[in-house]
Amino acid sequence: MRSILQFLGLMLLLSGCKSTHLVTVYSLEPAPVELSKNIKRIGIINEVQTTANKEQIESLEAFVAATDHQWSKEGKEAAIEGLLVELSKDKRFDTILILKSTSENWKQKSTAEIEIPWKSLEELCVANNLDAIFSLAFYKTDTRVTNKKSSMEELDLLRVKNMVDAREITLETLIENGWRIYDPFEKKVLDEIRINEEIVIQAKGENAMNALRSMTDRSDSMLLKSKGSGSAFGMRLKPYSKAIQREIYTNGSEKLSQAKDAIQEENWLEAARLWQLETTNEKAKIKAMACHNMAVLYEIKNDLPKAMEWAILAQSYFKDKNNTAYLEALKQRSVQNGLAEEQLENIVYLNK
């Protein structure tokens, strides 16, 4: 028992004396999708087949499913609108056309495989003088209904609030969107992604149908989420900012501890002064820690060459797996950052 208490005491002591402090660095990452510079005229199509709703409306779940089916047409239009708005900001494209749905050209080989009609897509591009086609390839909504007893306040004839029995309805709707970019001339799928969005709405009513009818903003939420998915797909063509966590050493010397206090007060100038003083510490490990911290500081400032200089210096003083891994991470980030900067030079976005 005594040994267990000693162990717990040691763990508490160690947890209260962390040797590092996490900071966030924002890295510019290359676009997930890089199109050829020759693609300047594009079309957008909806290849999702429209099916009739044959379900009998005999239950709450069936009513919700029928409502979702009615809204799906507007949802698909909203998704395509979101993509159009995002692509319209990109000056690389001379022309962006919304093409008539060609869903009848897509044949289902199996439950998991679609036969892409390359000939039809090529003819579509030739007829409209296009270089590539963006497609809404998949769109589906699935709603889970929860119906339970509850209570709610209700005003009587004297305008007095009373608690009455009620039904509480919860609708959890998953909206699945599938997107593709086709190059019909090369017969290549340049990008393919599925984007999932979820909406959760609750309401109460005297009965389940009244609760359901009170969900007046559900349609707007579904359309907004659908439009957002199209926008997210369009944004895959441009570089993006990614948050990365880095460690700063805060223990090992008095000045490193003092620098931690400065960081918490967002006084980076004072922290840098203290770290630079420790770069002449007689202990190699302390010098390496201070140099590492300076590297992270310059990475935060997005000065990667200077950050690598400090990281190399840290490794020269004390070579361990952490210093080596951080230096490699900086080298990799420098390559990725250069690619992203090059993409930005070729992609000019309008401020809309």
Q: b vs e for 265-292, b when ≥16 Cβ sit within 10 Å of the residue's Cβ?
A: eeeeeebbebbeebbebeeeebbbbbbb
pLDDT digits (tens, 9 = 90+) for 139-189: 999 999 988 888 877 776 667 777 778 888 999 999 999 999 999 999 999
3 state DSSP class of 65: helix
Predicted pLDDT at 106 = 64
Query: 72-81, 82-91, 96-105, 212-221: which has the minimum mean pLDDT?
Result: 96-105
CATH of domain 241-346: 1.25.40
pLDDT digits (tens, 9 = 90+) for 24-82: 999 999 999 989 989 999 999 998 876 655 555 567 888 888 888 888 889 999 999 99
Predicted pLDDT at 249 = 95
**What confidence category does residue 110 fall into, taking pLDDT thresholds of 50, 70 and 90?**
very low
Average pLDDT on 263-291 reads 94
- The share of the chain scoring above pLDDT 70, in percent, equals 86
Predicted pLDDT at 7 = 39
Query: pLDDT averaged over the chain?
Result: 85
First-to-last C-alpha distance (Å) of the chain: 67
For residue 302, pLDDT beyond 70: yes
For residue 8, pLDDT beyond 90: no
Predicted pLDDT at 164 = 79
- DSSP letter at 105 equals G
Query: 133-142, 185-194, 206-215, 220-229: which has the minimum mean pLDDT?
Result: 206-215
Going from N- to C-terminal start, the domains of the chain cover: 41-238, 241-346
Cα pseudo-dihedral 10, 13, 18, 19, rounded to 10: -70
Distance set, CA 166 to CA 129, 209, 217 (Å):
60, 11, 21
Predicted pLDDT at 351 = 40
